[in-house]
């Protein structure tokens, strides 16, 4: 599947009136929720799914396996209502019996959480993160870069 099964690249912050400013001169422009449902992301060279900068975006019923960096990653939840950016009902497998040498040398995470507050993870099953430094959960998306100035310490509810 190349690098990503699904990549939401920068600024998907759905609002009732998409062509108006967030608050606009005529009143409010409330956030609306967008749900991505039923993705299968298998053997991606980076992530099964990643959301770069999003509002009330939700991933539901995702199945991801054998991905080199992460099963699912949210980078920034900008202008999201508390706990409305979330992952719900996911199956996340670190390594299957059909793995490859490249994954054997990697240390992926099941979910990498955003570097913003109030993210929610619910009804998620993790399997087979028992090699190298692989882990079901990782925090602070993109904080591993040398130029990162964010040190984490975010609220994530699981």
DSSP state of 7: E
| Predicted pLDDT at 143 | 65
**Taking the domains of the chain in order of start, what are their residue ranges?**
4-19+27-157
State the pLDDT at residue 144.
Answer: 61
- How many angstroms separate the CA atoms of 65 and 48, rounded? 7
150 pLDDT band (50/70/90 cuts)?
low
And the tokens for 138?
């990782």
The mean per-residue pLDDT over the stretch 67-82 comes to 92
Distance of CA 49 to the CA centre of its chain: 6
C-alpha to C-alpha distance for 96 and 28, rounded to whole angstroms: 48
pTM, entire model: 0.90
| Alpha carbons 34 and 15: distance in angstroms, whole number | 10
Lowest mean pLDDT, pick from 4-8, 18-22, 28-32, 140-144: 140-144
Would you state the pLDDT for residue 145?
57
Q: What is the pLDDT of residues 114-144, one digit of tens each?
A: 988 899 999 999 999 999 999 999 987 766 6
DSSP class of 101: H
DSSP per-residue codes, 121-141:
EEEEEEE---STT-EEEE-ST
Kindly compute the dihedral angle of the four CA atoms of residues 151, 139, 158, 105, in this order, to the nearest 10 degrees: -160
pLDDT band at 155 (very low <50, low <70, confident <90, very high): confident
């Amino acid at each position: 599947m190349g690098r990503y099964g699904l990549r939401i690249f920068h600024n998907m912050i759905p609002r009732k009136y998409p062509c108006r400013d967030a608050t606009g001169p005529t009143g409010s422009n409330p956030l609306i929720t967008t749900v991505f449902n039923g993705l299968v992301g298998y053997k991606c060279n980076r992530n099964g799914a990643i959301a770069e900068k999003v509002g009330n975006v939700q991933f539901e019923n995702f199945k991801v396996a054998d991905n080199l960096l992460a099963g699912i990653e949210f980078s920034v939840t900008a202008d999201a209502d508390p706990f409305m950016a979330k992952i719900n009902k996911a199956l996340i497998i670190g390594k299957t019996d059909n793995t490859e040498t490249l994954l054997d040398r990697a240390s992926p995470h099941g979910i990498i959480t955003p570097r913003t507050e109030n993210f929610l993870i619910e009804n998620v099953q993790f399997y087979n993160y028992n090699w190298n430094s692989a882990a079901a959960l990782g925090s602070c998306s993109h904080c591993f870069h040398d130029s990162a100035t964010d040190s984490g310490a975010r609220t994530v509810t699981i």
